[in-house]
A = this chain, B = another copy of it.
């Protein structure tokens, strides 16, 4: 029986801070990075599974070390056991009692869990010859629910409820898939409003985005109030009143401040205010949500596990759930969050950008749109136009929508040159 023989890890960093790409009020100079895991087996098929977690530079080495700490939990196991019981695989990776102490299910060790878990799913999808979204959408409700770990969230979602949600839209599966293949997965762009970009660049990027057909644009706020207002006015002017403006404060405010600052910016008519305060503050988000209506609260890229999302949903603290399957412990946990959001009537608009997050998240959103979402007209997936050139099967955007990917796997494979160039600190870009 073929076994998992080793998990290779790479510390990849891209010097995005040089041009202030990705800059915001909390993260002025990110170097988009990936702690990248490759699961190797001794099977004849020659397939390897790739997965990663996303960081912004320093600290990526900690995620690399954590992947190395997790690897012995899988190495030596039979491939079929690991790939055919992905629920159990997730539990194996998250329930080592000693490693659990340095989480549990949060921070470095959980980011690393995502890399390994997503690599295993990539391998499973490649073995089955399907893109990940299709593997998920083809699963029966029973098979899908068996991949979930609902520990600590059974008060919000039982296995029966999860199966019921999945069964609801099952009859429309083919029709939904055909619509997505024809029209793509609606997206919004964050490439227009990084906080470190000069005003003229922002205006120009917005006009370009409008010309390219984008209908939803996101800007970064949380700087000086006057600067935020000036940039919001520029952007609103460039995109017009009919397009949707999204705002993102990247956690810089306390609760009272978030309310006051959002109310000041309400004149620019944003659909949502993203990350208004600490990602850990469920009650704070709930308070902000009540105070800033009709503007919605969005958060998720730093919401570290299903227990936190459960509470954000129970407390009516968010209207937009920005799930991130590399911040959560991989695709298994993201599936549970999407199902909980569906039960609570909250719209899933995943976090993307960084490096590889668009490639990752399109699969989750396609599954949501086919198998879970009651209505897909209000869903937009984040899109950022950085670093796609490193991927073997990069995302493609057509008419402001993700084109449905067809290659087997989870779209995580990188070109070999990327490792040679961006490995930290030995790659040519960093030497």
| Least CB distance, A62 to chain B, in whole angstroms | 6
User: Does A241 reach chain B (CB closer than 8 Å)?
Assistant: no
* A 47-67 contacts with B by CB, 8 A: 55-63, 65-66
Q: In angstroms, how far is the closest chain B Cβ from the Cβ of A196?
A: 12
The CA-CA distance from A30 to B155 in the complex, in Å, is 30
A27 near B: Cβ within 8 Å?
yes
Query: Would you call A248 an interface residue if the criterion is a C-beta within 8 Å of the partner chain's C-beta atoms?
Result: no
Please determine whether B254 and A152 come into contact, CB atoms closer than 8 angstroms: yes
Interface pick from A106-114, A122-130, A220-228, A381-389: A106-114
Cβ contact within 8 Å between B59 and A99: yes
Closest partner residue, chain B, to A153 (CB atom): B254
Does A28 make an interface contact (CB < 8 A)? yes
The residue on B at minimum CB distance from A103 is: B107
Contact, CB under 8 Å: A97 / B27: yes
Contact B59 A101 (CB under 8 A): yes
Contacts A97-B30, A154-B254 given; indicate if A59 touches B109 (C-beta within 8 A). Answer: yes
Q: If A26-B100, A154-B254 touch, does A280 touch B106 (CB 8 Å cutoff)?
A: yes
Q: How far is the CB of A60 from chain B (nearest CB, A)?
A: 8
Cβ of A282 within 8 Å of any chain B Cβ, yes or no, is: yes
Task: Report B-chain residues with C-beta under 8 Å of the C-beta of A98.
Answer: 27, 29-31, 55-59
Partner of A155, one of B254, B305, B314, B315: B254
User: Which listed residue, B69, B110, B307, touches A278 by the CB 8 Å rule?
Assistant: B307
User: What is the bound-complex CA distance between A63 and B98, given in angstroms?
Assistant: 13
Nearest residue (CB) in B for A104 is B302
Q: By the criterion CB–CB under 8 Å, are B254 and A280 in contact?
A: no
- Does A102 lie at the interface of the complex (its beta carbon under 8 Å from any beta carbon of B)? yes
Whether B108 contacts A56 by the Cβ 8 Å rule is no
A87 within 8 A of B: no
Question: Does chain B have a CB within 8 A of A277?
Answer: yes
Number of identical protomers: 2
With a cutoff of 8 Å between Cβ atoms, the chain B residues found around residue A58 in the complex are 69, 96, 98-99
Cβ contact within 8 Å between A155 and B256: yes
Measured CB to CB, the closest approach of chain B to A161, in angstroms, equals 14
Q: In chain B, what residue has the closest Cβ to A99?
A: B59
Shortest Cβ distance from residue A219 to the other chain B in the assembled complex, whole angstroms:
19
Among B31, B65, B110, B155, which residue has its beta carbon within 8 angstroms of that of A107? B110
Chain B residues near A155 (CB, 8 Å)? Answer: 254-256, 284, 287
Taking CB atoms, residues of chain B closer than 8 Å to A279 are 104
Q: In whole Å, how far is A225's beta carbon from the nearest beta carbon of chain B? A: 18
A103 to B302, CA, bound (A): 9
Determine which of B100, B152, B308 lies in contact with A277 in the assembled complex, contact meaning CB atoms within 8 Å: B152
B62, B101, B302, B308: the one within 8 Å of A27 (CB): B101
Task: Point out the residue from B69, B110, B152 that lies within 8 Å of A281, measured CB to CB.
Answer: B152
Q: Is A418 an interface residue when CB atoms closer than 8 A count as contact?
A: no
Chain B nearest CB, measured from A413 CB (Å): 24
Q: Is A304 an interface residue (CB 8 A)?
A: yes
Given contacts A108-B107, A254-B152, contact A62 B65 (CB under 8 A): yes
| Distance between Cα atoms of A81 and B313 in the complex (Å) | 44
Task: Let me know if A311 is at the binding interface, CB within 8 A.
Answer: yes
User: What residues of B have a CB within 8 angstroms of the CB of A310 in the complex?
Assistant: 281, 283
Looking across the interface, which residue of chain B has its beta carbon closest to that of A150?
B254
**Binary flags per residue of A304-322, CB closer than 8 Å to B gives 1, else 0:** 1101101100110000000
Residue of B nearest to A155 (CB): B255
Residues of B within 8 A of A99 (CB): 58-59
> Can you sample 25 A-B contacts with CB below 8 Å?
A27-B97, A57-B101, A58-B98, A59-B99, A59-B102, A62-B62, A62-B65, A62-B66, A62-B109, A66-B108, A102-B107, A104-B302, A108-B108, A151-B254, A152-B254, A152-B280, A153-B254, A155-B254, A155-B255, A155-B287, A280-B311, A281-B307, A282-B283, A283-B310, A284-B311
A residues contacting B by CB (< 8 A) are 26-31, 55-63, 65-66, 69, 96-111, 151-155, 251, 254-256, 277-284, 287, 302, 304-305, 307-308, 310-311, 314-315
